[in-house]
Structure 1
Amino acid sequence: MKVSGFPGFDAAAAASGLVRARVADLTAQVASGQRAQTFAGLGDDAAIALDLRSERARREAFASAARRGEAFAEATQIALGGINLATRDILDSAQRILVNGLPGSDAASIKTMAETARASLKTITGLLGERFAGDAVFGGAAPDQAPLVPAAAIESTGLFTGIRAQVQTLAPGNGSAILAATKAMAESNDPAISPFRGFAADAASGSQADARRSVPVGEGITIPVGMYAYRNASAISEGQTTGAWARDLMWGLSVIANLEPPSAASMDDYRVVVEGALGALRSASNALVEDQAALGVEQSRLAVAAERNETLALQLETNIGKLEAVDLSEVITQLSSSKSLLEASYRAMVTLNDLSLTKCMR
């Protein structure tokens, strides 16, 4: 572009403009540490940078999900540990009574065993309703809903009152029948009996699908962490069982909680009922530990997945930096050189502007 009509001056002005634009670009790079303020400024590297950023965001999301899953699983482990501890307490208490030749000979021990079972039932019901970060730990596919009644209401459920009515009919020859009847109640999903509610009640009855809660940790890869209040997660219950350790706990504890000294009038039948209830508690404890161990394996997988995605996200960040960031020491050197060149171009323009025929003839 002509500025003065004098070719030499115009050329110097154009060169100065280019250097001035270069200085402005380098100054912006020093200030931001980036090659350009927009992706367009990256030229052919823009598409690659966008792809890398997208992949980094995915990896960060997977890592974050895995870490949240780890925390959720740990909260579940704490609840499972509390449930198993409460179960072992009543098992130990009841077994001591049987080993010492009771029930029947010590009414106080029978009452103590019933009170311990009642307290354990409330504790376990409360733990089955435990929440972490607002989600029900044993809520299955509906963690926003309470899976069963509150601990304070467990004794008002049809399950507890029905078992109580059955146990109170204990008489010579009907111990096995009572045990079978109470087990059927624990297996039942009848709303009038079951302590489960909302989504869990519908899922238990088969009218609502209840997929296990899982955490996405990669493309098409998920790790299960969900637990249920009405069925096992992965364990297979064996022995004296309803098929689910939580139901076994509520069954066995409700039976023991409703046993009273008069119930021991028929020693043989009393023993049948007590040992049946203890069998349910043992089965529950074994299956619970199995679910707990399986969850521990998933926790390890989550930790590995989180670390892997965090490492990949960091590597991607490095690659993005190589495309978008600048070497500040190099840019500062270039900026200093360009400023010197700009100053020289300004001096050249001043000299050219000051030229005259008289001066040239001197």
Structure 2
Amino acid sequence: MTATIGALGVLAAETARLRARMDVLARQAADGRRGGLYGDIAPEARRAMDLRGEIARRAAYEGAIGGALGRAAAAQEVLGRLGQIAETFFAETVPLASGQPERIATVASRAREAMAEVAALLNERHGGEYLFGGGDLENPPVPDPEGIATSGMALQIAAAVAGLGGGNAAAVAAATKAAALDDTPGVTPFSAYLSDPLRGGAEAPRGLVAADGERVEYGLFANRNARAVSAGETTGSWARDLLRGLATLAALDPAQAQLGADFTALVGTVREGLRSAVRGLNAEAGLLGAAEARLEAIRTRHAEVSVALRSQLSAIEEVDMAETITRLQATRTQLEASYQAIAALGALSLARFLGG
């Protein structure tokens, strides 16, 4: 009898062990994880914590890159439209030079409308942030886009154009360039922030630390080039070149067609200035595209590394489901057999007791 009781105790202990193992296996089969506590994955808990931290860090990089790419894509659309405007009026300067009064009046009217569109485009926002405002993300880079045709810059250019004649085309062109370059308050159409040489005028284009030790610049400015280098008949800024050309065309008077060489020379200068604007815009868009490609490549690298890190983390924290289910079934079978053995041994012990 004593031996039977001892055997029952051994079986009970084994049954308890099997039941505990089955509980663990059932939970693992349900959620696929080794356990909910770091102690469940000892001695690799520290490694798991490091992996999780690195995965989170790379996810943050990916999120920031995604935001930058969204802003860059929006800026590309604006650059594309600005380029179309510059190309349209560049093409207009060829027939304009022939001096047809009706055409001059039409081009002047369209140029005034285009100035307002250019100003509005330079005020484009993405995610609530101005794309061409440099570090000033909350204020428009062109404070009065609707009134740009009557801005100090436009009025100075109009005054210079009105004085065309007597062989002074070169001087008039120089005056239009000076007006486009003038950052004096009341003259420049651009914001005080962008026009301040110690603030917007001195800052680097907006950029993003996209990976350890890797900064990618993608920001743009309304009043100066970010990365492109303008050449030819230029103020050094594709935006100023475009606005200078449009303001000059807007100021033309049909009567000036009678000026002959002076009129032709001024239109020729406008043409070359718009050519510089087109080239500058194309260069800016190309360089921004290169920055986008670099950001995409870095984001892909982060994603690929994250996949590898998650695989390592999975090997630590997660179970092999096929193996776990097999072990669960085997443990269940053992547990059932243990229950049957306890029942049989208990019945035998009872019979002996009653018979004894």
| Pairwise same-fold verdict (TM > 0.5) | yes
Give the Cα–Cα distance (whole angstroms) in 2 for the partners of residues 359 and 56 of structure 1.
65
Partner of 1:37: 36
Give the Cα–Cα distance (whole angstroms) in 1 for the partners of residues 350 and 290 of structure 2.
89
1:90, 1:116 within 8 Å by CA — same for their partners in 2?
Answer: no
Give the Cα–Cα distance (whole angstroms) in 1 for the partners of residues 116 and 146 of structure 2.
7
Indicate how the Cα distance of structure 1 residues 55 and 260 shifts in structure 2: closer, same or farther if over 3 A, else same. Answer: same
Aligned residues: 351
Letter in 2 for 1:219: D
1:229, 1:246 within 8 Å by CA — same for their partners in 2?
Answer: yes
Partner of 1:243: 236
Give the Cα–Cα distance (whole angstroms) in 1 for the partners of residues 160 and 117 of structure 2.
23
2:111, 2:249 within 8 Å by CA — same for their partners in 1?
Answer: yes
Any gaps of 5 or more consecutive residues in structure 2? none
Structure 1 residue 249: deviation in Å?
1.0
Give the Cα–Cα distance (whole angstroms) in 2 for the partners of residues 270 and 199 of structure 1.
37
Q: 245, 248, 259: which is aligned to 2:252?
A: 259
Give the Cα–Cα distance (whole angstroms) in 2 for the partners of residues 360 and 326 of structure 1.
50
Residue 132 (structure 1) aligned with residue 131 (structure 2): no
Give the Cα–Cα distance (whole angstroms) in 2 for the partners of residues 161 and 305 of structure 1.
47
1:66, 1:302 within 8 Å by CA — same for their partners in 2?
Answer: yes
Give the Cα–Cα distance (whole angstroms) in 2 for the partners of residues 68 and 270 of structure 1.
48
Any gaps of 5 or more consecutive residues in structure 1? 1-5
Structure 1 residue 361: deviation in Å?
8.2
Partner of 1:61: 60
Letter in 2 for 1:255: T
1:146, 1:198 within 8 Å by CA — same for their partners in 2?
Answer: no
Give the Cα–Cα distance (whole angstroms) in 1 for the partners of residues 315 and 42 of structure 2.
14
Structure 1 residue 117: deviation in Å?
1.9
Structure 1 residue 30: deviation in Å?
0.9
Structure 1 residue 87: deviation in Å?
0.8
Range moving further from structure 2, 336-345 or 181-190: 336-345
1:94, 1:113 within 8 Å by CA — same for their partners in 2?
Answer: no
Give the Cα–Cα distance (whole angstroms) in 1 for the partners of residues 166 and 352 of structure 2.
139
Partner of 1:110: 104
Residue 159 (structure 1) aligned with residue 158 (structure 2): no
Partner of 2:45: 46
Query: Aligned to 2:33, what secondary structure does the other structure show?
Result: coil
% identical equivalent positions: 32
Q: 198, 203, 225: which is aligned to 1:210?
A: 203
Letter in 1 for 2:224: R
Indicate how the Cα distance of structure 1 residues 141 and 207 shifts in structure 2: closer, same or farther if over 3 A, else same. Answer: closer
Give the Cα–Cα distance (whole angstroms) in 2 for the partners of residues 240 and 227 of structure 1.
22
Deviations 1:4-36 (A, max 9, x none): xx5444333332222221111111101111111
1:145, 1:199 within 8 Å by CA — same for their partners in 2?
Answer: no
Query: Aligned to 1:151, what secondary structure does the other structure show?
Result: coil
Structure 1 residue 268: deviation in Å?
2.9
1:122, 1:154 within 8 Å by CA — same for their partners in 2?
Answer: yes
Structure 1 residue 347: deviation in Å?
3.5
1:1-362 equivalences under 5 Å are 7-98=6-97, 102-103=98-99, 106-202=100-196, 205-208=197-200, 209-351=202-344, 353=346, 355=349, 358-359=352-353
Give the Cα–Cα distance (whole angstroms) in 2 for the partners of residues 265 and 292 of structure 1.
40
TM-score for both structures, normalised by structure 2: 0.90
Deviations 1:250-305 (A, max 9, x none): 11211111111233443333233322222221111112111112122222222222
Give the Cα–Cα distance (whole angstroms) in 2 for the partners of residues 160 and 347 of structure 1.
99
Two-structure CA RMSD over aligned residues (Å): 2.4
Structure 1 residue 246: deviation in Å?
0.5
2:93, 2:270 within 8 Å by CA — same for their partners in 1?
Answer: no
2:193, 2:199 within 8 Å by CA — same for their partners in 1?
Answer: no
